[in-house]
Structure 1
Amino acid sequence: MGSFIGVFSIVILKERCIKVYDSMSSSRTNRKFSFEIQKLFKILSKYLESSGFFEQNDRTNWSVLESYQGRKKSHPFEVKCVTDIAQQTSNNCGFFVVVYVEFLNDGLQIPPYGIISQYLRMRYVSLL
């Protein structure tokens, strides 16, 4: 059985930033996936530029945003690994990603500890 890692990212276009949430944050995990994550986000920058995304100014004038000034459109986004968030203690990767998404969707900060997985699992089952 292979190991799974619960990682998800949020792209914040206006800040030219990508926040990475890792449910098993460790120096070993971060080193192993940091290079792959950086490659994907370089590809994202190039795709947005080549697709003409930044020329679509009907909602956002990208050139006036501070995070875009003085940078080429293909310049990679800044990657920020979010720290001080609750970490899984067993193989609950998918569950932790769901919990992170729920917290963020509700406009809440992910707590550094205290996620009671049994309670949340029962809650999710009852919602289904």
Structure 2
Amino acid sequence: MPWHVKDDVYVPVNSNVEFHWVLTVVALKERCIKVYDFMSSNRSSRKLSSEIQKMATMLPKYLELSGFFEQNERTNWLVLKCYQGKNKSHPFEVSHVTGIAQQESSSLDCGIFIVSYTEYLSDGLQVPSWGISSDTLRLRYASLL
């Protein structure tokens, strides 16, 4: 499905230095990248921050070159408040979402959390602040397969 008919695009992002993934949601109508980090350590956040800043800078240029902003039969992008006063290559704002359930610091459950959060968000639900069990999620997704 083309970008210009979507409101949100879900993108998993990996830290180059560690085996850690976060979910980013590119909210096109808000000109914002929302970051869902399931591990609250400052060390991983600092490393991911540079990766996400790169995406926030490169994404508008890609959208401009691909003709995204000219696709306005569904949304007139340039009249949205968050696009006004900014040129097409101005970086997207980055927002780190807080108050969300966290994985255990020693676990490698990033993939399970990405799938779970994507499911919550795409269904229009709030991500819980606690109570996500990676064991339960593994069983659930295995049964769906």
Q: TM-score, normalised by structure 2?
A: 0.80
Q: How many residues align?
A: 127
Q: Which runs of 5+ in 2 are unaligned?
A: 1-16
- Name the aligned partner's letter for residue 91 of structure 1: L
Please tell me whether the aligned partners of residues 6 and 96 of structure 1 are also in contact (alpha carbons under 8 angstroms). Answer: no
Equivalent residue in structure 2 for 1:94, among 81, 104, 111: 111
Secondary structure of 2:95's counterpart equals strand
Q: Which runs of 5+ in 1 are unaligned?
A: none
Secondary structure of 1:35's counterpart equals helix
Structure 1 residue 67, shift from structure 2 partner: 0.5
Structure 1 residue 82, shift from structure 2 partner: 1.0
Moved over 4 A (4+): none
Please tell me whether the aligned partners of residues 63 and 69 of structure 1 are also in contact (alpha carbons under 8 angstroms). Answer: yes
Structure 1 residue 127, shift from structure 2 partner: 1.5
CA offset digits 1:34-72 (Å, max 9, x no partner): 112101221111111122211222111112110011111
Structure 1 residue 28, shift from structure 2 partner: 1.3
**How far apart, in 2, do the equivalents of 1:98 and 1:60 lie?**
28
The equivalent residue for 2:52 is: 37
1:6 and 2:21 correspond: yes
**How far apart, in 2, do the equivalents of 1:83 and 1:58 lie?**
35
The equivalent residue for 1:55 is: 70
1:78 and 2:78 correspond: no
1:109 and 2:126 correspond: yes
Across the aligned residues of Structure 1 and Structure 2, the Cα RMSD in angstroms comes to 1.5
- Name the aligned partner's letter for residue 98 of structure 1: V
Q: TM-score, normalised by structure 1?
A: 0.90
The structure having more radius of gyration, on CA atoms, is 1
